[in-house]
Amino acid sequence: MDPAITVDHVSKRFRLYKEKPESLKERIIRLGRNPYEEFWALRDVSLEVAHGETLGLIGQNGSGKSTLLKCISGILRPTSGSIRKSGRTAALLELGSGFHPDLTGRENVFLNASIIGLTKRDTARIFDDVVAFAELEEFIDLPVKHYSSGMYSRLAFAVAVNVEPELLLIDEVLAVGDEAFQRKCVQRIRQFQSEGRTILLVTHGVETVRQICDRAAVLDHGSLIALGEPGEAVLVFRDALLQREHTDEAAGADWRSHQQVRITGAEVEYLHPDRRHLLPGEPLRIRMTYDAPARVDDVVFAINIHDQQGNLLLGANTDSLGADPGSVEGPGEVVFEFEQVPLMGGIYEVSLGVHTHDGGVEYDHRAGEDVIEALSTGKVAGMVSFPIRAKVDPGS
């Protein structure tokens, strides 16, 4: 039987115009000498996804993961190569997949479902499931512009998984939303797998790949550098990451130059600057510096703290913390302040991100830039130092 998706020698070239001609006048004035740079976001990528398989797609920011997914869904047309697929496709490409801010949640569900190809009757039948899954019963008749980014992504995910697609394309949506919802999504993906549906999943989370994917593919600078068993793919990815970090400085971080907001640094500041570790219950500061070459209006700074096993201990962003930066321009910094951190006995990874309010565009993402090193007091064992006291009542 044919594979569900066949990507055959696909390349995609973008043209980056220095100044983009937008009108007839400009086109005529610049006729023939319109400087642009060519940029290959995908280079000769070939892969197949079998029916019922879950393929994970990993790679650094800018390695072409989203571009590949867009090509597969038909939004972008590859410069060369062919892509064959069969069956109804639901794509969760970037968040809020085509929701219109002025329409209510209900209207958007119907609009979105009809984009995938559902009739009104089909949509009416699954409507309650969608709303229940998204947990938006009270808000469904509100225009979605009043939704938080979490609500937005929940609704998008709920639509995509409830329209019974044969092929599900997911781009990093699991990274947004609260953890309870993330768990629910993973559960749903598992159910999808057991029903024999095909999934192509882009993710930042190396753990996610190990946990839910049958195979994984690694993209680097637009080329496929590994395709196979998830564990192996993750190793290749890590290697590529390390190499990149070396060449990054030298290359003037050129692959990131397109980013509108760049994270330029991340630092964990302990209570005593000379002591590079944390004692349970001490306060902590995480300072992130960024640079926005031009003014950006839609920006959220996010922080995640993971343990070494990849479990999320804490996730927050300037929206959820009620500190919307409004717009940013030029260099600046964001400080996340913890009154007290009850962590102990281990090393915890800090990852930082900058994205739009709806999570649709991620400007930058840094994982493992700095870690929190926590010591134990020796009084209690484990990861979290809950304030604890023992009272012994010597009964008579």
Partner 1 sequence: MAIEARTGSGPVTDVAARPNPWRRLVDVWRHRELLLNLVRKELKLKYKNSTLGFLWSLLNPALYLVVFYFVFQIVLGAGLPYFAIFFLAGLLPWNLFSTSLGSSTTSVVGNAGLVKKVWFPREILPLAAIGAALVHFFLQLIVLALALVIFRYPPSAEFCLLLPIALLTLLLFAAALGIGFAALNVYLRDTQHLLELVLLAWFWATPIVYQYTKISDRIGNWVLLNPMTSIVITFQRAIYNRTTYYDTTTKTTVGILPDESIWWYLRNLGIVGGCSLLLLVGALLLFGRLEDNFAEEL
> What residues make contact with Mg ion under the rule CB under 5 A?
66
When the beta carbons of 166 and 349 are compared against partner 1, the nearer one is 166
Cα dihedral sign, 108-112-113-119? positive
Residues 62-81 that bind ligand ADP (CB under 6 A): 62-67
When the beta carbons of 154 and 204 are compared against ligand ADP, the nearer one is 204
Q: Is 56 in the site for ligand ADP (CB under 6 A)?
A: no
When the beta carbons of 39 and 321 are compared against ligand ADP, the nearer one is 39
Residues 252-271 that bind ligand ADP (CB under 6 A): 258
When the beta carbons of 66 and 123 are compared against Mg ion, the nearer one is 66
Cα separation, 323 vs 188, in Å, equals: 32
Q: Is 353 in the site for ligand ADP (CB under 6 A)?
A: no
Q: Is 14 in the site for ligand ADP (CB under 6 A)?
A: yes
* Phi, psi torsion values for 112, nearest 5 degrees: -60, -45
300 in Cβ contact with 357 (< 8 Å): yes
Cα separation, 94 vs 359, in Å, equals: 8
All residues at 6 or more sequence positions from 288 whose CB lies less than 8 Å from its CB, including other chains:
263, 265, 266, 267, 301, 303, 333, 334, 335, 336, 352
Long-range contacts: 236-243, Cβ < 8 Å, 24+? 237/58, 237/59, 237/206, 238/206, 240/59, 240/60, 241/60
Q: Is 104 in the site for ligand ADP (CB under 6 A)?
A: no
What single string gives the DSSP state of each residue in 52-105? T-EEEEEE-TTSSHHHHHHHHHTSS--SEEEEEE-S-EEEE-STTTT--TTSBH
Long-range contacts: 386-389, Cβ < 8 Å, 24+? 386/342, 387/281, 387/342
What single-letter DSSP state applies at residue 49?
E
* Phi, psi torsion values for 102, nearest 5 degrees: -85, -10
111 binds, among partner 1, Mg ion, ligand ADP, none (CB under 5 to 8 A by kind): partner 1
Q: How far is the CB of 350 from ligand ADP (least distance, A)?
A: 20
When the beta carbons of 123 and 351 are compared against ligand ADP, the nearer one is 351
When the beta carbons of 58 and 151 are compared against ligand ADP, the nearer one is 58
356 binds, among Mg ion, ligand ADP, partner 1, none (CB under 5 to 8 A by kind): none
Stretch that binds ligand ADP, among 56-64, 125-133, 159-167, 308-316 (CB under 6 A): 56-64
- Point out which residues bind partner 1 (CB under 8 A): 1-2, 4, 10, 14-15, 22-25, 27, 51-52, 70-78, 81-89, 91, 93-94, 96-100, 102-103, 107, 110-112, 114-115, 117-120, 122, 163-164, 166, 195-197, 360
When the beta carbons of 74 and 382 are compared against partner 1, the nearer one is 74
Using CB under 6 A, list all residues that contact ligand ADP: 14, 16, 39, 41, 59, 61-67, 258
